Structure 1
Amino acid sequence: MTRFFFFDVLRFATSVMVGTIVLSVGCNDVVVDDPAKAQFEAAFQGRCGRGSPCDQLCYELHDGMYECDCRMGFILQEDGYSCTELNSTASSFYSMNEVDGGNEEDVLYQKDAIFDVHLNENFTEDDERNLNNTLKSSEKIVSTSTTEIPSTERPCVLDCGPNGGCVISEESSEPVCLCPLGKGGERCEKDLEIRSPRFTGSSWLAFPALRGAYKHVQVNLELRPESYDGIFFLTGERDDMAGDFMALLLHQGFIEFRFDCGSGVGLVRSEETVLLNQWNHITLYRHRWDAWLQLNGGKHIQGRSKGLFSRITFREPLFIGGTGNTTGLSEKLPVSGGLKGCIRHLEVNDHLYKFALEPSGEASKGFGIEECTADRCSRVPCQHGGKCLTSETSAVCLCPLGFSGDLCEIRVDLEVPSFNGSSHLRYKGLGEEALTWLDLQVTLKPTAEDGLILYNGHRGNGIGDFMALYLRKGRVGFAYDLGTGVAEASSQHKINLGEWHEVRISRTGRLAILEVDNQIPIEVLSPGAFTQLSLPQNLYLGGVPNFNMVSPQIKTRSAFVGCVQKIEINGKPVSILAEALGGANVDNCPHPCIAKPCGEDGECVPEMDYFTCRCKPGYRDQLCSRGPPGFSGTDSYLHFNDPATLTTLVSDPLDINVRFKITGSDGLILWMDSGSGDFLSLGLERGALVLRYTVRAEEIVVVHNSSTVHDNLWHRIKAVRNGGSGLLVVDNGPGITHQFVDVPSQRATQEGLFIGGIPDENLSTGGRYKNGIKGCVADLVLNTNFRLKLVGHTAASRNVLECEL
């Protein structure tokens, strides 16, 4: 069998020729004058098994090749297959790694090694000149005694104490201190004990270079990332990444292991993305060319490096959480920044690292390290896939769409979404829909003066085209960038918090118009000559997962707080919840639609504080065609006296929302009696809408006579009893609170809720009403979420017909 010898030491060319070494291919011999000074790895053509010349161990390589190796305590001889006991071949060319239990390590892979080169008699002056040039080119000065803080474009003048440095924050663009390991605070004035480090993207830890790991490496770590990109494990041969290296990193949410044994980069990439803001377990195993990776107990993903070399030289420190003083990353790795997040467990080749500074720990250096507070989440067990987020003092659950509560334990059937400042909904981006023109309408009710309402961008890092709708100091703002500069429009006046508002954006080319309620429209023209808006990223409503994706031109850096009930894009209504691709921490806004007043086969369409019903497809001629109850005005009513209704009637305040159409200027619409002697009535008296109720032996009367409601058209009424104060609102108009106090008259008590009338109106109401209404009542909701079932009801009824719509 013809043997072909390929040596790892060829990576060092003639710069590592030890003794007299003559290499030849084919039938020529391999001559080694001083075999005790060299250890070779040879690759042979063929297979392991019978016929293999390996003295002890044999490894299958690739392309029909194999390699011999020796067990612990033995070294491979120059013939590439025989093994000799280490004690019998002791030489200064080898060293034992006492820390790793005596695994041999080639001095070629030791830092600052000095080689004694002997040349044979056939070595010419040209050979010597070439050797010297090769040696000079391979020399490297390694220094880890000093660390440079990243330079910034603007001056950074904070006094950060001894060994601290000042940097410009990527998030706030303000100067902050990057403190040495063991220090913290705004000026690095506090002592910190680091058990589980948190990295900010600019921070890192340095440990001594790996020993005994040039062939085999096994890594176990627990990682809690806060963003989808960053390097968190990096080491290698040179600080400019020109030689061997090994890196574990996050790229677009996937775990990637990249390594180079000297002849090409190998890549192993997880099939699943990491879980943001949750602890992830990562296991990595590398043996020579081959490596496998496992994320969160999932599938083992395998890969291998290129070429024939199988060893990795480790001279540089092991950098954790960032890149340290390493340069040249752009040519070897897809990301160059450090990790944003926490690491709480790091084990390499069965050695568990301690993150504190020497001597209490093992870290030789570190910058910008904080103590991770994420373990607070162990006391907050979020349910239904909720994610735990921590602040300096607490931990809260970020709930997926359809769940709410402190632990995401409450299932929510969403109708009108409410956002709490940590919420968002995600949709398909506008893309070409907004390329040249955009018509956007939004109906919202804010409860905070600042917050991002809508955002769509061109890139995930906030750079490039974007459009944003937001609140800033109570004013509505719209900003966009077509690629040549930002244009921004702001409403002339602040809007009232806790009230519904309508916002409309019209944009054609460079021109945009902002309209808010009845305020004067604001026009703005974008700078430059570009007229098209490119928005391939997702559209976000109510906030974003991370404000790093929002253009720095948007000064509002908080999420919207309040409710959104309507979005219309280019004339097409958006089903806010049905079309959402995802979201978090979205709850229900207090609204009558929560009570599902349109039944299972109808859709509740919000209209400010009220709603209309829309039948689902296929039901217009079936259940939805069954009209609401109709009343004749005399001895015609519905009577509810079930326990749930009675309990609701005694609540204070009591909010009543009713939709009706009637004829006739007089008639009783509602009568409520909880059985305690007090009552509440809503009716028409000489064409005026009147709310009456008793409180502590007094009768409160509120009269609304500025609207006509007995015109046989549908109207919606909101009536509120709040102690001694009453309120009437008709068709979303102004609220009427003018009232007077009357002396209650005698009446016959009948417990429960009557709709449309009451038996013997004159006697039952103490002469206040002579008859019920002639007309229909379609919807009745109490306290925003208690809906009376008027269609298919189980209440007692008399002379109730189907309403003619």
Structure 2
Amino acid sequence: MPGISILSGPVNDVWIDDAADDSTILKTRTSVTYPMVCYQSRAGSSYDIKDIIRHPLGDKNNNSETCATAVKNPCQQICVDIKSRGFFCQCRPGFNMNPDGMTCTEIWHPEEKRETDYEKADVNKDSPSYTEVDSRSDSKTRYNNDGEVMVSYNEVVHLKSIDLTRGLPPLEADNRRSSDSALVLDSRRGQSGGYSLPESSIVDSRGTYNIPEGETENDEVEISINALDITEGGDFEPEKVVDSPKPFTGELQEVEVPTCKGFMCKNNGSCAVVKGKAICLCPLGHYGKMCERDVEVRYPKFKGTGYLALPVLQDAHKELRVSLEFKPGLPDGLLLFSEGFDCGTGIAELRSLNRVQLAEWNTVVLTRVDNRATLRVNGGHQVEGVSQGDYTRITFRLNLYLGGYVDMNTIKARVGTEHQFVGCVQELRINGHRFDFRPTGSVGEAEFGINVGECSDGVCDQIQCKNNGKCVARSADRHICLCPYGYHGNSCEKNSSVHILHFSGHSYLELAGLQRSVLSYTEIELVFKPTYHDGTILYNGYSRDRRGDFISIALEAGHLVFRFDLGTGPAELRSLEPVTLNKWHFVRASRTGLLGTMLVDDEPIVSGQSQDSYTQLTLLDSLYLGGHPNYDHTFKRAQASRSFNGCLQKVVSNQKSVDMIGKNLAGVNVRPCSHPCAGKPCMNDGRCKPRLDSYVSHCKLGFFNTNCENVQDSVPTNTMFNGESYLKYIYKDITKSFSSMI
């Protein structure tokens, strides 16, 4: 099956398999090459998926092999060529396919006999051609349903010839053990023309069984077979015997087999025996030994028995960029896996040059464009590779699995590991989209999962925030104190007045909402200085149920983005160029009905239009600056998920200045921004008004100059205004005179 996988392994390196068979695997492990085994069912057939195993074997020149060329008749019973590539084996009625995909086991029912008398068996009916049986055979001679001689460990077999190319007599079902399919396939691919058999041996799916020379016992039965016909692997010596196994003389010991008896998992968990131990498989949202704890997953924690399923990748068939931040606890495990439809041209493998650090945060970035891929770990050397064949697209059909897979046994031959990931994942981004690991039933994207914990559990256990601050997790292993307005610091220990607001990425300021004052026309002006290229600067919505009208201004990858939704679909206006960090910028965003415009500094004006025909904007919730207390309450179309980092100097709504200092309703982690006004330069009760990196002083009547330091000698008789001046009359006689003039 095609796809992509990422793993981690004993040598602590990260590598990917980017298969033209549409499977993508992210992993770190030791390099091991396995043949690919694809499980497919045949249309119109009654065979179960496990009964037909396709073998797309090929040589180093990628030449496809068939029943005739892979090995000399590789199937024990029936071999069928596939027109597209390769072959698969089938079993006759009454037999099941073994895990190796080539040998068959007789279906045995306890109420039926397990052997057929020679007189009743039709040896020549659709069965391998054996030579005539010597007249010394008696009624103890046994054949299976295909006419093949049943070899017992208690009987002597005198072999003159067996056509090994027509299949080997299977061991009795009660003596047969399942074989590892990869091992069987490896051993068979080791020979180009067929099996190489040592003298005096026969081979079944488990390996090689020796037939030592020896004398027959009186109570053993001789069976001689004529007409030597060994086409591969040399001749058998005549008169070879199979010794009786010697009776067991040791002491039997009772071994307790682990079961799920009495194991009661809570919250719809199910019990399973994994590696000899009964455990609970807890559904997403529950965790613990018995699934007894509720857990909200933001930073997934895996312990090697679970996985998290994310949506099927869309719009990733041609180009793919994956960024994953993880902390491994063990050196081997599957990190990321998805697969699609088989293109049949093989796997491309990229291996990092630098090692992954255990118990430390690591970042892996991989890209794929057409059939070319790159891999980089922790900013180290970039590894490049090209997949085989001419196919350049991957169409994913399975969920994207993080930390493991539903059944590792079905993919371990392709991904090179049977281990699921142990450790934590902090962030996963694919093609710029940051995944939310919470369940889709709330606001996240995780569709289902098993045994997924939360890495940030306990991060606040030993933390005390002062002045009514609240401790929360800011990442998988770090905390932050949310300090009420007026306090800041690591533990909310600092108290200082604020002139210009500074937001730290975990901050917000709550003000009265714009309400119905912006129904038909809205104009917002901001002066801001960003220190990071992503974050919400302003948001006002209709309600907190993620529906209805909203307006937002945010930074996304350095570009300023203005969005508004009148109830039928958002308008999105994006600045032409990214803004410069650590510099002051001006933005004016406005809308009239459906039409919106945005001006950023001296750039050309950009415009856009909301969908459908609604023309009024209703905003009944609070106005938030610098962030939001809970992004789960913001409209999904606003795409708000991260708070602003930087300073906010001015906010004007419909030409009215918003008082951010004196009339805020609440705030968290807002502290003073470094600015000349913070030093109170204006004297004689003058008020400092910031102007980007500078300021102007608004002086009281009778004072003037840059910092209001000079006193006027006399009251001016001819007043002059400079655009930022005003006179306020407080005497009743004067105000009465003005009233009579109106």
Same fold (TM over 0.5): no
Structure with the bigger percentage of strand:
1
- The higher-RCO structure (CA 8 Å, 6+ apart) is 2
- Using structure 1 for the length normalisation, give the TM-score: 0.34
- Using structure 2 for the length normalisation, give the TM-score: 0.37
